[in-house]
Structure 1
Amino acid sequence: MEYSFWGGLMLMLLMADPLGNIPIVLACTKTVPNRRRVWVILRENLIAAVLLLLAMLFGKSFLTAIGLSDAALSIGGAVIVLLMAIRMVFPTPEGVFGNTPGGEPYIVPIAVPAIAGPSTLATIMMLAASAPDRLWEWAAVVLITCFASFCVLASADWLERHLGDKLTQAIERLTGLILAMMATQMFLSGIASYIASLPGIGTK
């Protein structure tokens, strides 16, 4: 499946789900002083960006080394996206990513798995594998996604006060519905890619 720059950016933004991560950030930074909170969120987004860029550059080589195909990456990514979408549409008390520890976060749970989680890592690897000649575009997608995530999460207190729980949940559920449809398309594209690679079919 071929993605445009804007299509890839939209997919990454939906996967990062900054609005859905607001409860996680509020819970993990409630004991952090206000002046330090923005720095903590910036640090976590920078860590996530580095991890996503590493996955973009070396994820394909790693998958090839362990014998995984592009079809497997697409289908596996679709399953992860669908599971995340289900948890967004039908939320649980522990949130999309499960229970998270309190105190000042360091890497876990904001950088990983809230931002650079299985879904975003699988997505950027899929984008890089689908068009390896456009790595600069995918790198820009990663940086814009992390910058947007930082802007939203740094404003978590303000957004929670002004949007309210009900509107935030409605936006998250709508995002989950969109992700479910995108996961279905990713799954179908992976199946088509696998069928095309079968001997006697892909050569016709």
Structure 2
Amino acid sequence: MFEAFSLKETLTATMVLFAVIDIVGSIPIIVGLKKKFGKIEAERASIVAGVLMISFLFIGNKILKLIGVDAYSFAIAGAFVIFIIALEMILGIEIQKNTESKSASIVPIAFPLIAGAGTLTTTLSLRAEYHDINIICGIILNTIFVYLVLRSSNWLERKLGDGTLQVLQKVFGIILLAISIKLFTANFAQLFSTYVKF
């Protein structure tokens, strides 16, 4: 497993997940939750989110086999989800409605804010192109970064300001849009060659 480690793949997986999780863009939401509930358990939320992502990376394929869906089809579906998330970030619109919860640690921070449907779909979509060890490293790096952001959310909000946060959100949205198109084209080609025999 470790012989498949690639720094390039790890960095790419890290950046993809970083863009999807969009923890920097979520700082205003996190600060709002902190004001509402008084305290955010950064350690608990980060660990649960990381475990959810790694678990889905391995269990996800078994679930797919159980329902009779191949990895390429799922990766294409994931590309559509990432595409929608990117549009939300770029255009500043809300397609997926967030539900409110009485807890501010596991729900809604660990799930669905960090390890939501888009993030879990992305981890499995990445598996179609990258080795597991590189995706796991990407998840761990993002989990550490999420923890640091959760711990210093008030300080970051004061330093960055709403204008900078909006710019960062749009930049990561454009990166995400390009990634979704790449995922779609690469997996569609594989799916087409699998099912269409000349």
TM exceeding 0.5: yes
Q: Which runs of 5+ in 1 are unaligned?
A: none
Does the C-alpha gap of structure 1 residues 100 and 23 become closer, same or farther in structure 2, counting only changes over 3 Å?
A: farther
Report the CA distance between 1:135 and its aligned residue: 2.6
TM superposition shift of 1:79: 0.6
- Say whether 1:121 aligns with 2:126: no
Please tell me the residue identity of whatever aligns with 2:116.
G
Is 1:58 matched up with 2:55? no
Residue aligning to 2:4: none
C-alpha contact 1:29 1:103 (8 A) present in aligned 2 = no
Distance 1:159 1:175, change over 3 A: same
Cα distance, 1:8–1:99 mapped onto 2, change above 3 Å? closer
Distance 1:105 1:174 in 2: 28
**Unaligned regions of 5+ residues in structure 2, if any?**
1-7
TM-score (norm 2): 0.87
Q: How does 1:46-195 map to 2 (within 5 A)?
A: 46-92=47-93, 98-101=97-100, 103-131=102-130, 134-195=131-192
Once the two structures are superposed, the pairs formed by residues 31-50 of structure 1 within 5 Å of their partners are 31-33=36-38, 36-37=39-40, 40-50=41-51
Residue 154 of structure 1 and its aligned partner are, at CA, apart by 2.0
Look up the equivalent residue of 1:4 and give its one-letter code: E
User: How big is each residue's C-alpha offset from its partner over 1:132-180, in whole Å with a ceiling of 9 and x where there is no partner?
Assistant: xx43332222111111111123221111111110111011011111111
State the shift of 1:97 in Å. Answer: 5.3
Matched with 2:17 is 12
Shift of 1:7: 1.1
Q: Which has the higher helix share?
A: 2
Q: CA contact under 8 A between 2:20 and 2:82: conserved in structure 1?
A: yes
Q: CA deviation at 1:129?
A: 4.1
Q: Go from structure 1 to structure 2 and tell me whether the alpha carbon gap of 1:97 and 1:199 turns closer, same or farther (over 3 Å shift).
A: closer
Q: Tell me if structure 2 keeps the 8 A contact 1:124–1:138.
A: yes
Q: 2:193 aligns with which of 188, 196, 202?
A: 196
- The one-letter amino acid paired with 1:98 is K
Q: CA deviation at 1:88?
A: 0.6
Root-mean-square deviation (CA), in Å?
Answer: 2.1
TM-score calculated relative to the size of structure 1: 0.85
